[in-house]
Structure 1
Amino acid sequence: MFLDASFLLLIPALILAIYAQIRVRSAYAKGSQIMARGGISGVEAAAIILRNSGIYDVGTEAISGKRRTSGVRIERTMGQLTDHYDPRSRVLRLSPDVYSGRSVAALGIAAHESGHAIQHAVGYFPLHLRTSFYPLASFGSWAAFPLFFLGFLFRSPSMMNLGILVFSLAVMFTVITLPVEFNASSRALSLLRSNNIVGSDELPYVKKVLSAAALTYVAATAMALLQLLRLIVLRNTRH
């Protein structure tokens, strides 16, 4: 959309996004070749981490101090690197290679997603904010460019401003996501160590995988911010 000089603003973010994807694929491929000495699978690691954090299977409840936490279900999902935690249904979904895998990469990703489940259980505010913000961000991603395009086409500053405002919701979502993901990765490294799932000499390999994955979120945020700047530039040139 709008292949003009303003597109140059996006080039740094595009380069970062490509680099992030290459890095995460490379780190995941290398980490998948290193089998953890503990010999447990990703789903087993997730179950251990959740259980030791006071989070049990769906249908049961546990009391940890004064906090009551409901259960989380662990499921297998299709695809590669499709792992995620769904706070709305309290389901932790692991891709086949992570669910059954016994590599340091599989354990790191399983621990990372378990970190999100723990964030939810303890009321980690940025996760709650991101979950609450998701519907607005989804609408913003869908509606922003049609609104802006119509405003640009018909020289309507108010319509372009509305498109920019709506897109800002999606940008805010990417910004909110950063602390959520970095915190989950930090928790993952600590949980893997404290639960004796990986050895101290294996943690650097896990960290490489998680750091590479975190870079993709940084790239997405950079792209969203520069896209927002580009819309503002286009609006000003259309006046």
Structure 2
Amino acid sequence: MSGFGLYLAFLIPPLLIGFLVQGWLKKTVAAQMQVRVANGMTGAEVARMILDRNGLHGVPVQAAPGGPLSDHYDPRKRTVNLSQGVYDGNAVASAAIAAHEVGHAIQHEKAYAPFRLRSAMFPAVSFASSAWIMLLIGGALLGLFGLVKIAIVLYAVVVLFQLVTLPVEFDASRRAKQQLHGLGLVSSGESKGVSNVLTAAAMTYVAGALAALSQLAYYALAFLGNRN
């Protein structure tokens, strides 16, 4: 197989999977944004109640400036940031996404080990994610195999970060469901919609990790496998 053929073999399947999963997520969220929760609570109110019931009164809930699916928990500022549609929305998807982000705040408070590991890795990953491609291209063009090896090691750090992210995201979804049901924030009829949203969101991280692993395997084979 040619180098380009090898690249396509490693690149195309994960890209297709990622595309399908992203489409599934957007479709699922859009559908559940049309289903109003029986209690009428907005995502911001759901997040606030879960935080308060878990003793996290000092963690603010604020509207994020980004668009749909920009929701996140910021461990540096200890804030729950919700996209406008989730913050103001009173749909099943709003409740599910808000509860998921609060799940990260609970992980932080309880010093959940994978969450702590991911946070500790973040500075190194920030550097590695921006530096590895420049080193790879520079090393390949200049014939400096040492730079290529460093680039691949840096990219491996990025991939490891994505793998560590998986249990963090799955656990946050587990906590979200537990809190939503335990506090009576969703009815039994709304549970399936919550699960659909959280499962689709979690699968985007699985697809991302698969794509990163596939790309790492390609670089390892292409640049390290032919040294003999």
TM-score normalised by L of structure 2 = 0.95
In the alignment, which of 147, 162, 165 is matched to residue 135 of structure 2?
A: 147
1:137 maps to 2:125: yes
Match of 1:17 in 2: 18
1:201 maps to 2:186: no
What SS does the aligned partner of 1:123 have? coil
Matched-pair contact (CA < 8 Å) for 1:137–1:173 = yes
1:86 maps to 2:87: no
1:95-132 Cα distance to aligned partner (Å, 9 max, x none)? 11100100000000000001000000111111111111
Consecutive aligned runs of 4 or more in structure 1 exceeding 6 Å deviation: none
Q: Report the Cα distance in structure 1 between the residues aligned to 2:219 and 2:31, rounded to whole angstroms.
A: 39
Q: CA deviation at 1:4?
A: 5.3
Match of 2:87 in 1: 99
- The structure where helix makes up a greater share of residues is 2
Match of 1:67 in 2: none
Q: Report the Cα distance in structure 2 between the residues aligned to 1:173 and 1:237, rounded to whole angstroms.
A: 24
Matched-pair contact (CA < 8 Å) for 2:103–2:173 = yes
Q: Report the Cα distance in structure 2 between the residues aligned to 1:236 and 1:72, rounded to whole angstroms.
A: 47
Q: CA deviation at 1:155?
A: 2.3
Q: Report the Cα distance in structure 2 between the residues aligned to 1:43 and 1:143, rounded to whole angstroms.
A: 37
Match of 1:118 in 2: 106
What SS does the aligned partner of 1:177 have? helix
Q: Percent of counterpart pairs with the same letter?
A: 38
Matched-pair contact (CA < 8 Å) for 2:6–2:218 = no
What SS does the aligned partner of 2:195 have? helix
1:2-48 Cα distance to aligned partner (Å, 9 max, x none)? 85532321111101110111000000010001101011110000011
Q: CA deviation at 1:138?
A: 1.5
Match of 2:41 in 1: 40
Matched-pair contact (CA < 8 Å) for 1:152–1:238 = no
**Alignment root-mean-square deviation, CA:** 1.3
Q: Report the Cα distance in structure 1 between the residues aligned to 2:21 and 2:6, rounded to whole angstroms.
A: 25
Q: Report the Cα distance in structure 2 between the residues aligned to 1:103 and 1:84, rounded to whole angstroms.
A: 18
Match of 2:64 in 1: 77
Q: How many residues align?
A: 224
Q: CA deviation at 1:156?
A: 2.3
What SS does the aligned partner of 1:201 have? helix
Q: Report the Cα distance in structure 2 between the residues aligned to 1:40 and 1:30, rounded to whole angstroms.
A: 18
Q: Report the Cα distance in structure 1 between the residues aligned to 2:157 and 2:225, rounded to whole angstroms.
A: 23
Q: CA deviation at 1:141?
A: 1.1
Match of 1:166 in 2: 154
What SS does the aligned partner of 1:202 have? helix
Q: Report the Cα distance in structure 2 between the residues aligned to 1:3 and 1:31, rounded to whole angstroms.
A: 41
